[in-house]
Amino acid sequence: MACLLETPIRMSVLSEVTASSRHYVDRLFDPDPQKVLQGVIDMKNAVIGNNKQKANLIVLGAVPRLLYLLQQETSSIELKTECAVVLGSLAMGTENNVKSLLDCHIIPALLQGLLSPDLKFIEACLRCLRTIFTSPVTPEELLYTDATVIPHLMALLSRSRYTQEYICQIFSHCCKGPDHQTILFNHGAVQNIAHLLTSVSYKVRMQALKCFSVLAFENPQVSMTLVNVLVDGELLPQIFVKMLQRDKPIEMQLTSAKCLTYMCRAGAIRTDDNCIVLKTLPCLVRMCSKERLLEERVEGAETLAYLIEPDVELQRIASITDHLIAMLADYFKYPSSVSAITDIKRLDHDLKHAHELRQAAFKLYASLGANDEDIRKKIIETENMMDRIVTGLSESSVKVRLAAVRCLHSLSRSVQQLRTSFQDHAVWKPLMKHLPSWQWGCSFSSKIGVRALVIIRAPGFTKCTR
């Protein structure tokens, strides 16, 4: 009987909730413009922090009407601005909300709004666009569909600190590869954004910094340009180094370190430059310490792994800085035992980052041990290291498995370790699982399979499998 009554009860509750939201939508159709404006303002106040109300209004068709009012020439600029604010609030709900907004073609409407001469309206449109473009469900290509959009956004950078913050944030989230880097670079991103690094607004400085990190990543052209840019008489790398100082916020230190790392890897800064050896590398090692948040430790380790990967001297310096090799062992201790955690939120947080921590640690160990035999020996002698690699090879996360194989591949360059530690821990057993067809000479599309095959073919490994 309870099951039979459940559906009517749910329908009744849904009907009441929908009815309570209906009047907000009805007021958008009032013939009196002032009542429409007040209705939008009331709707804005009703949806703040209320995801259920946001979902109800979307279901009831509020979005098409708001977009209509936003685009109508007869609408007052105040009404248009309030509509943009409400749409931005709706976008800050769930991913389904963003999908609904995208289905209503909100991006072209907001981009059209950027042509208005009214700064407050422009800022409201940009704030909404920022929220939508930073959502994982929004295709970044939508920013590049119309060739006139990027140059217009560049022109709007000078309007206010809010336009600077929102536009830089949009660029940093929508720059996903060399094609996007080229488009932004060709439209003067470097010149237009560089001076924002000295803005009085911390948020503007941070978003500008993030822009440069995504622009420089694996891009020699951008990196070679950045190294020669002057801002208030200082070269850009010098400004990045100042942002690495310990008294700066951690987010700023990390992002500055990423900028310098990417410029170094792109060949714009030498690996033996003081800004790399004495500033960037020590900063990234600091980010790996227990004192940092888990997400900061992940980002620090992965960036450091990328920085030192091709350079033997940087690997040696990193290995003896702040006991880094031993410090990384702590990455495998999450999540802590449930009995030691009384805070459910902390347990959930640890679980969320546990895979990322192990992946980052394996990557950094792989880079550290890429060339030097003494470093490999120290890594292998680290507490339970071989057991952790064996466990990592069987993890549920593909990224962790790949990082574990990458680490094993790095350590397998030592014939001595192949014939001792590898044999003692029977690492070949989990490796075999990554070779679906055990045939010498077969080819594998899987990155894990390829690396596993390379390890197994290494001199001395054959004896381990017998």
Domains belonging to the chain, first-starting first, are 270-431 (1.25.10)
**Percentage of the residues of the chain whose pLDDT score is greater than 90:** 74
Q: Is the pLDDT of residue 435 over 80?
A: no
- At residue 283, the pLDDT reads 98
254 band by pLDDT with thresholds 50, 70 and 90: very high
CA dihedral 437, 443, 444, 449 (to 10 degrees): 70
Q: Is the pLDDT of residue 210 over 50?
A: yes
Q: What is the mean pLDDT of the chain?
A: 87
Contact 187, 171 (CB under 8 A): no
Question: Which of the two residues, 109 and 333, has the higher pLDDT score?
Answer: 109
Q: Is the pLDDT of residue 421 over 70?
A: no
Residues 392 and 389: their CA atoms lie apart, in Å, by: 5
User: pTM for the whole thing?
Assistant: 0.86
Question: Which of the two residues, 101 and 349, has the higher pLDDT score?
Answer: 101
Q: Retrieve residue 105's tokens.
A: 């073609």
Per-residue burial over 50-63, b if 16 or more Cβ lie within 10 Å, else e, is eeebbbbbbebebb
Q: Is the pLDDT of residue 52 over 80?
A: yes
- At residue 433, the pLDDT reads 65
- At residue 336, the pLDDT reads 65
- Which of 18-22, 34-38, 70-74 has the lowest average pLDDT? 18-22
Residues 445 and 210: their CA atoms lie apart, in Å, by: 34
- Which of 347-356, 377-386, 437-446 has the lowest average pLDDT? 437-446
Q: What is the pLDDT of residues 383-405, one digit of tens each?
A: 888 889 888 988 888 899 999 98
Per-residue burial over 1-27, b if 16 or more Cβ lie within 10 Å, else e, is eeeeeeeeeeeeeeeeeeeebeebbeb
